[in-house]
Structure 1
Amino acid sequence: MGWKLKFATTAIIAVAAGVYINNTSLLAPHQGGKPVLLAHRGMAQRFDERDVKNDTCTAARMLPPTHDYLDNTIPSMRAGFDAGADVVEIDVHPTIDGEFAVFHDWTLDCRTDGHGVTREQSMAKLKMLDIGYGYTADGGKTFPFRGKGIGMMPTLSEVLATFPDKKLLINVKSRDPNEGETLAGVLNALPAERSRAVMVYGGDEPIEAIRRLTPDVRTISRAAIRSCLIRYIGYGWTGLVPAACRNAMVLVPINAAPWLWGWPDRFLARMNGVNSAVFVLGPYSGGEFPTGIDTPEAFAQLPQDYSGGVWTNEIEAIAKIAGKVAGTSRD
C-alpha cells in the first residue's frame, strides 16, 4: 500500500505543478505600456450613486458640477479623449426616422424639456430639446445647465464622423433583437478598420444579433459576461478560453479578478489571443452594474504595472494617476 500512496502523492504533486506552471502570471510575458482607459459617457456630470435604480432620475441627484460637460455629447466625448481616454462609451436609441440618437435615458422626462420614450421620437424632434434642462444639485432650486444643452443630442452618424479614428463603446439600451440587426447594418457599412475600433454591449438579444451579423466587432452582454467569467473560473486552468470570452469585451469586477486563472498577465495574454479586450470595473456586490475605477484607492487595487483596460467615470483623475496625461505618472 505504501507504493500506491507514494504514486498518488507524486501524481497529485505533478498535476498541481502543471496547473501552477500553466497559470502562474510570474511565468507569463508582461505586456508593457500604460492602462487602456475607458471614459464612461465621456466627460460626465457625477451624481449620488446610493440606492440608484434603473428608473432613478440621476440628473436630479447631480453632485455640485466641476465642469460644464453633459454626457453623450460631442464636446463631452472630445473632452474625454483629450483628458486621456483611449475609449469613450456612448448610449444609443433608434428613432422613428431611422437614426440612432446618442442619449442615455430610456425616457426624456428626467434630463430634458421633452416627454415620452426616447425611441418613440424623431431625430428632428430630439434635436430641438434642451438636454441640460433637468440637471440640479440642490433639489431643484437651481438648474445650472438649463438652456445650455439645446440641440446638443447627436446622432451616431455624427459621432462616427466626428471621431473617425477613435475607439468607441456603444451601449444598446434595449432587449430588442431588431435593434441589434439595425445597428449591425450601420457597423457593417463602415470600413473594416473603423468597425474593428468599435465595441458594443447591452441586452442579450440585440448583442446576440450583432455578434452573429458583425463577427469582427467585439461585444458583451450581461449573460455573456457571466458565462465567460464563471466558465473561465471553472476550467480556465486548462488554458481553454470559453466561447463567451472570445472576440469579446471582457468586463472584470475588481473583486472577481483574483479568481481568474493567470491574473493578470497570463489572463490578459489569453484574452488578447482570442481578440478580446479586458476592462476592470469597480467591485460587484450582486446588485446593479458595478461602478468604475473612480478613486485613487480603487486604482491602487490594480496590479502593479497593469496594462489592461480600466473603466472609469472620472477620466480626468484616473488619467493623471495612470500617467496618461503629460507630466504625470502613476508613481
Structure 2
Amino acid sequence: MKKALAIFVLFVAVVWLLNTSLFVAPPAGTAKLLAHRGMHQTYPKDNVGRDTCTATIIRTPEHPYLENTIASMQAAFDAGADVVELDVHLTPDRQFAVFHDWTLDCRTEAKGVTEETPMTALKSLDIGYGYTADGGKTFPFRGKGVGQMPTLEEVLAALPDRKFLINFKSRRAEEGAELATRVDAQPQWREAVFGVYGGEEPTRETLKRLQGMRGYDRTSTMACLTRYLGYGWSGLMPDACKNTFVIVPGNYAPLLWGWPDRFAARMKAAGSEIILLGPYGGGDFTTGIDTMQDLEMVPPGFSGYIWTNRIEMIGPALAKRQVADAGTN
C-alpha cells in the first residue's frame, strides 16, 4: 500500500514538473487582436440558433459600421486589430462575395442563397436593410448599405498590407481550390491571407494546395484539444496541433496541460499559433473576449491572438493594459 502510494505521489510530482509554468518564460511578444467580422453590430447570444436572424436583435447601435464591409474592417484595424476575420461565398460569376449569411433574407431586401446569386446582383443590394434594435419599429441602417457588399479582391485592394482570416461558409471543396489558385498566383494575396477556417472541405482543399498555409475546422480543432488533454501532459504533441491554429476557449484554457506559459511554448515549438476565444458554450466557436471580465481570461505575457467581437472596446483596453504591464517590468 505504501509503495503504491509512493508511486502515485511520484507520478503526480512528475506530471506537475512537466506542466507547471513556474520555470517557463512565456514566448516573446505581446497579445494580438483578431476582429471577428470587423467592427460590427453586436447582439445578445442567448437563445440564438442557426436560423436566427441576428440583424433583427441587435443592441442599440453605438457606431455606424456593418459587418464584412471595407469601412468596418478599416475601423477594426484603426481600433487595434492585427487580423480581421471575414466570410466568403464563391458566386456563379466566380467572385468571392464577402458576406456572412448563407441566405440574403435576413440582412437585405432580397431572397435567395448567397452563393447562388451573381456578384452583379449582390452589388445592388442594401446589406443594412434588415437591421433593427427595437423589434422592427425603426431600421437605422436601411438605405445606408446599398452596394456595400465587397468582393474579396476589393477588400485586399482597399486594405493592402493587412491580414485576414477567411471563413468558408460552404462545404464546397471548389471554393478552397479557387482561393488557393488565386493566392498562389498573387504574392500580395499570400501576404494578406492569415489563414482559413470554416467548412471542412474547402478549408482542407486550401491547405492541401498551399504549402505553409494555416487553417482549421471544427473536426481538426476537437482532434487537437481532445488528444492534447489525453496525453499532452507528457510533452508529446498531437499531430492535429502542429503547424496550425489552436483554438482555445477561455473558460476551458486552465484545463489544458501547461496553461498558460508552458502550453504556449509547446505550441510555438510545434509551429502553431494560439487563438484565444471567449467562454465556450452551445457549440459556438465564435464567442469572443468581448467584455472587461472576459479580458481577465487573457494571462499576463500571452502573445497569441485574442478573438473579439468588440474590437472598439477590447482594442483600447488591451493597449492600455499592455502599457501598464510594460511600465511595471
Could you state the TM-score of these two structures normalised by the residue count of structure 1? 0.91
Match for 2:53 among 50, 57, 72?
57
Match for 2:243 among 240, 243, 247?
247
Cross-structure match for 1:131: 127
**What is the CA–CA distance in structure 2 between the aligned matches of 1:325 and 1:127, rounded to whole Å?**
41
1:159 aligns with 2:155: yes
**What is the CA–CA distance in structure 2 between the aligned matches of 1:196 and 1:270, rounded to whole Å?**
26
Give the C-alpha shift of residue 104 in structure 1.
Answer: 0.4
**What is the CA–CA distance in structure 1 between the aligned matches of 2:141 and 2:322, rounded to whole Å?**
30
Q: What code does the residue aligned with 2:212 have?
A: D
1:265 aligns with 2:261: yes
Cross-structure match for 1:236: 232
Cross-structure match for 1:296: 292
Range 216-225 or range 199-208, more displaced: 199-208
After superposition, give the CA deviation of every residue in 1:150-180 in whole Å (9 maximum; x if it has no partner): 1111111111222232121111011122222
Per the alignment, in what secondary structure is the counterpart of residue 136 of structure 1? Answer: coil
Cross-structure match for 2:83: 87
Equivalent pair of 2:184/2:190 in contact (CA under 8 Å): no
Per the alignment, in what secondary structure is the counterpart of residue 120 of structure 2? Answer: helix
Range 161-170 or range 284-293, more displaced: 284-293
1:218 aligns with 2:220: no
Range 203-212 or range 253-262, more displaced: 203-212
Range 179-188 or range 317-326, more displaced: 317-326
Equivalent pair of 2:277/2:285 in contact (CA under 8 Å): no
The correspondence of residues 14-53 of structure 1 with structure 2, limited to 5 A, is: 14-53=10-49
Give the C-alpha shift of residue 12 in structure 1.
Answer: 4.7
Q: What code does the residue aligned with 1:189 have?
A: A
Cross-structure match for 1:315: 311
The correspondence of residues 185-224 of structure 1 with structure 2, limited to 5 A, is: 185-191=181-187, 194-195=190-191, 197-224=193-220
Equivalent pair of 1:188/1:195 in contact (CA under 8 Å): no
Per the alignment, in what secondary structure is the counterpart of residue 114 of structure 1? Answer: coil
**What is the CA–CA distance in structure 2 between the aligned matches of 1:97 and 1:330, rounded to whole Å?**
51
Equivalent pair of 1:319/1:325 in contact (CA under 8 Å): no
Q: What code does the residue aligned with 1:299 have?
A: L
The correspondence of residues 86-125 of structure 1 with structure 2, limited to 5 A, is: 86-125=82-121
**What is the CA–CA distance in structure 2 between the aligned matches of 1:246 and 1:289, rounded to whole Å?**
20
1:184 aligns with 2:180: yes
Distance change (3 Å), C-alpha of 1:211 and 1:9: same
**What is the CA–CA distance in structure 2 between the aligned matches of 1:145 and 1:251, rounded to whole Å?**
33
Match for 2:70 among 71, 74, 77?
74
Range 195-204 or range 10-19, more displaced: 10-19
Please tell me the root mean square deviation across aligned C-alpha atoms, in Å.
2.3
Taking every aligned residue pair, what percent have the same amino acid on both sides? 54
Structure 2 unpaired stretches of 5+: none
**What is the CA–CA distance in structure 1 between the aligned matches of 2:143 and 2:188, rounded to whole Å?**
39
Per the alignment, in what secondary structure is the counterpart of residue 25 of structure 1? Answer: coil
Could you state the TM-score of these two structures normalised by the residue count of structure 2? 0.92
Give the C-alpha shift of residue 315 in structure 1.
Answer: 0.6
Per the alignment, in what secondary structure is the counterpart of residue 200 of structure 1? Answer: strand
The aligned length equals 327
Match for 1:256 among 247, 252, 255?
252
1:285 aligns with 2:281: yes
Per the alignment, in what secondary structure is the counterpart of residue 22 of structure 2? Answer: helix
Q: What code does the residue aligned with 1:315 have?
A: I
**What is the CA–CA distance in structure 1 between the aligned matches of 2:155 and 2:171, rounded to whole Å?**
23
Structure 1 unpaired stretches of 5+: none
Range 135-144 or range 315-324, more displaced: 315-324
Give the C-alpha shift of residue 296 in structure 1.
Answer: 0.4
Distance change (3 Å), C-alpha of 1:225 and 1:27: same
Per the alignment, in what secondary structure is the counterpart of residue 219 of structure 2? Answer: helix
